[in-house]
Amino acid sequence: MSGAPYIRVGFLGFGTVGSGAYRMLEDNREAIARKVGAEIEVVRIGVRDEAKKRCASPSLLTTDLGSVVDHREIDVIVEAMGGLDPAGELIERALRRGKHVVTANKELIARRGAELVGLAARQGLDLHYEAAVGGGIPLIQPIKHQLAGNDILRMAGILNGTTNLILSRMTDEGEPLETVLAEAQGKGYAEADPSSDVDGHDVQFKLAILSSVAFGKAVRPEQIYREGIRGIEQADIAYAKTLGYVIKLLGIVEAVEGGSILGRVHPTLLPKAHPLAAVGGVYNALCLRGDFVGDVTFMGRGAGGEATGSAVVGDLIDVCRNMRIGGSGDAAPFSGEANARPIEELTSAYYVRVVVPDRPLVLGAIATIFGRRNVSLSAMEMRVIDTKLNHGEIAFLTHRCLEADLRQAVEELRHAPEVLRVCNWIRVETL
Ligand code: NAP
Ligand code: HSE
C-alpha cells in the first residue's frame, strides 16, 4: 500500500508465538495493510540468543530488551517471551513510555492483569491479551464486547491444548502421558515448564483471566481450585468409556449466590453427548452461558504458533485501528476483587474407583458408607482384577451431592476394612 502511514512494532520474544505472529504479518502483509489503513512494520525483535536461525532478518534481533521498549519510533510492543519477569517489568515500562501492548502471557495477566490493565487505561493505551487464552479462538474480545451486556452465569471449557492432546491420545491410542507430552513439546504447544500444563496451572491462569473479564472483578489464580491430569490412569479412562463418558481437563467457573464465584480446574467425566466431549487433540473449546444470550460455544486450535499468532495479529490490528482513529478500545479495568467460594461447597456428581476383597457384604458396607454421608449411587461397574488374591475393582457413579460430603465418604472408604484402596475419584459433568 504505497503512501500509507507506518505503525512500528517491537517484539519481545520470537519463539513459537512471536515467530507465528511475524509470519502472518509477512504472509498477509497487503491484506492487513488494507484492513488497518497503515503498514505494520516490525523494527526490533528482542531474544535471548541472537545466533539462533529465525524467519526474520538478523539485523532486527537484539538481546537488549530494554532497547526495544525504549525505541523512540516503536508504537506497539508485542510480548511473547513468557514468565513474570522481565516480561512484566518491560510491559510496565512500555506502557509508561506511551506504547500500546499486545501480550500472549497468561501467567503475567492472571497475576498482574488488574494492575497492568489499570495502568494502560490511565495512560489511554491498549493492552490486549487475546492470545493468552484459547490459542486462536476469539474469547476475550467477544466476552469484553459483544457479550458484555449479559450477566455471565457459567463458563466451562477445555483450555489447554497439551493436556487435551494427551488425554485424547491416552483414550484413543492407549499412549502414555510422557510420550504425548514429548510430542506436544516438539510441536511448540507445551509451556517452557510443561508441569504448568500437566498440573493444571496453565488452565488456572486462563480461567482467572476469563473470569476477571466476564465478571468484571479481578480473580486471582489462587481463588480457583486446581488439579492436574497426572492421577488419571488407563483404568479410569476404560471405566469412563464403559459408563458412557470421556475424561477431559476442564476449567469451570460459576456465578453463585451473593455475587460470589466458584472456579475450578480438574479432570472431569463428560457424557459422550456433551458438546465438549468430541473436542479432541490440541483443540480447545468454551461453553458460556449468559442470562440473555443463553448458551454459546467457541472452538478452535488452542495452541501452536499459527493459531496463537493469529490471535496476536488480531489484537495488533485492533490496536493499529484504534491508533488510526486516535482512541483506546480496551479501557475495561476490573472493579475490585471477586469473592470466591471453596470447592467443598460445590454440588456435583462423582466417579469413585476402589479395589476391594471379592467377598460377601463388601458392596453393602461401601454403599452404607456413601449413604451415611448423603451420597446416593447412580451406577456401578465391577471386575475381578486378581483371581489369586481374589481382589475386585469397582467404579461407582454418584448422583449430585455436596463435595464436602463426598470427601468425607472417600476418607471413610480409605480406612474401611472392606476397601483395600481408593484408586481415584473424579468429578462428573452432567448434561
Ligand atoms: P518460546 O517458544 O519458548 O519462545 C520464547 C521467546 O522469548 C524466545 O524467542 C526466547 O528467546 C525469548 N525469551 C524468553 N525469555 C527471555 C529473556 N529473559 N530474555 C530474552 N528473550 C527471552 O515460548 P512460546 O511458546 O512462544 O510462548 C511465549 C508466551 O506465549 C508464553 O507466555 C506462553 O505461555 C504464551 N502462549 C504460548 C502458546 C503456544 O502455543 N506456545 C499459546 C498461547 C500463549 P530465544 O528464542 O533466543 O530462546
Ligand atoms: N501450553 C498451552 C497449551 C499453550 O497447551 O494450551 C496455549 O496457551
Q: Residue 230 above 90 pLDDT?
A: yes
Nearest CA to ligand 2 atom 1: 190
Q: Summarize pLDDT for 338-375 with one digit per residue, the tens.
A: 999 999 999 999 999 999 999 999 999 999 999 999 99
Q: Which residue has the cell 509508561?
A: 96
156 lines ligand 1 (CB under 6 A): no
Contact 165, 180 (CB under 8 A): yes
191 lines ligand 1 (CB under 6 A): yes
105 lines ligand 1 (CB under 6 A): yes
| 106 marked ligand binding residue | yes
Q: Summarize pLDDT for 258-294 with one digit per residue, the tens.
A: 999 999 999 999 999 999 999 999 999 999 999 999 9
Q: Residue 333 above 80 pLDDT?
A: no
Q: Which three cell numbers stand for residue 187?
A: 510441536
How remote is the CA of residue 14 from the centroid of ligand 1, in Å?
A: 7
Q: Ligand 1 atom closest to Cα of 16?
A: 26
Strands 401-402 and 421-428: unpaired
Model confidence at 431, in pLDDT bands (50, 70, 90)?
A: confident
Task: Give the domains, in start order, of the chain with CATH numbers.
Answer: 6-135+305-324 (3.40.50.720), 140-301 (3.30.360.10), 344-428 (3.30.70.260)
d(CA 393, CA 376): 19
pLDDT value at position 402? 98
- Summary mean pLDDT of the chain: 96
Q: Residue 332 above 90 pLDDT?
A: no
pLDDT value at position 329? 64
pLDDT value at position 413? 98
Of 24, 47, 90, the one to substitute when testing ligand 1's pocket (max ligand atoms within 8 A of C-beta) is: 47
Residue range 23-29: average pLDDT? 98
| 37 marked ligand binding residue | no
| 15 marked ligand binding residue | yes
Q: Which three cell numbers stand for residue 414?
A: 480409605
Cβ density class 243-282: b for 16+ within 10 Å, e for less? bebbbbbbbbbbbeeeeebbbbbbbbbbeeebebbebbeb
Torsion sign, CA atoms 304, 305, 306, 312: positive
d(CA 5, CA 20): 24
Q: Ligand 2 atom closest to Cα of 308?
A: 7
How remote is the CA of residue 312 from the centroid of ligand 2, in Å?
A: 14
pLDDT value at position 4? 67
pLDDT value at position 40? 97
Nearest CA to ligand 1 atom 19: 48
Of 202, 248, 283, the one to substitute when testing ligand 2's pocket (max ligand atoms within 8 A of C-beta) is: 202
Long-range contacts formed by 326-332: CB under 8 A, 24+ apart: 328/100, 328/120, 328/121, 328/124, 328/125, 328/126, 329/126, 330/117, 330/120, 330/121, 330/125, 330/126, 330/127, 330/128, 331/120, 331/121, 331/124, 332/117, 332/121, 332/144, 332/213, 332/216
| 17 marked ligand binding residue | yes
For the annotated catalytic residues, the residue numbers are 206
13 lines ligand 1 (CB under 6 A): yes
pLDDT value at position 418? 96
SS (H, E, C) the chain: CCCCCEEEEEEECCCHHHHHHHHHHHHCHHHHHHHHCCEEEEEEEECCCCCCCCCCCHHHEECCHHHHHCCCCCCEEEECCCCCCCHHHHHHHHHHCCCEEEECCHHHHHHHHHHHHHHHHHHCCCEECHHHCCCCCCCHHHHHCCCCCCCEEEEEEECCHHHHHHHHHHHHCCCCHHHHHHHHHHCCCCCCCCHHHHCCHHHHHHHHHHHHHHHCCECCHHHEEECCCCCCCHHHHHHHHHHCEEEEEEEEEEEEHHHEEEEEEEEEEEECCCCCCCCCCCEEEEEEEECCCEEEEEEEECCCHHHHHHHHHHHHHHHHHHHHHCCCCCCCCCCCECCECCHHHCEEEEEEEEEEECCCCHHHHHHHHHHHCCCCEEEEEEEEEECCCCEEEEEEEECCEEHHHHHHHHHHHHHCCCCCEEEEEEEECCC
Q: Which three cell numbers stand for residue 190?
A: 507445551
Q: Distance of CA 103 to CAs 80, 81, 129, 170, 367, Å?
A: 6, 9, 5, 32, 52
Model confidence at 328, in pLDDT bands (50, 70, 90)?
A: confident
Q: Residue 91 above 80 pLDDT?
A: yes
How remote is the CA of residue 102 from the centroid of ligand 1, in Å?
A: 14
How remote is the CA of residue 104 from the centroid of ligand 1, in Å?
A: 9
| 397 marked ligand binding residue | no
Q: Ligand 1 atom closest to Cα of 54?
A: 46
What are the pocket residues of ligand 2 if the criterion is a CB atom closer than 6 Å to any ligand atom? 135, 160-162, 189-191, 197, 202, 302-303
Above pLDDT 90, what percent of the chain? 95
d(CA 278, CA 35): 35
Model confidence at 331, in pLDDT bands (50, 70, 90)?
A: low
The residue count of the chain comes to 431
Q: Ligand 1 atom closest to Cα of 63?
A: 20
Q: Summarize pLDDT for 183-205 with one digit per residue, the tens.
A: 999 999 999 999 999 999 999 99
| 352 marked ligand binding residue | no
Above pLDDT 70, what percent of the chain? 98
101 lines ligand 1 (CB under 6 A): no
d(CA 370, CA 248): 25
Of 48, 67, 209, the one to substitute when testing ligand 1's pocket (max ligand atoms within 8 A of C-beta) is: 48
Q: Residue 2 above 70 pLDDT?
A: no
How remote is the CA of residue 10 from the centroid of ligand 1, in Å?
A: 15
Residue range 126-146: average pLDDT? 97
How remote is the CA of residue 367 from the centroid of ligand 2, in Å?
A: 41
Model confidence at 1, in pLDDT bands (50, 70, 90)?
A: low
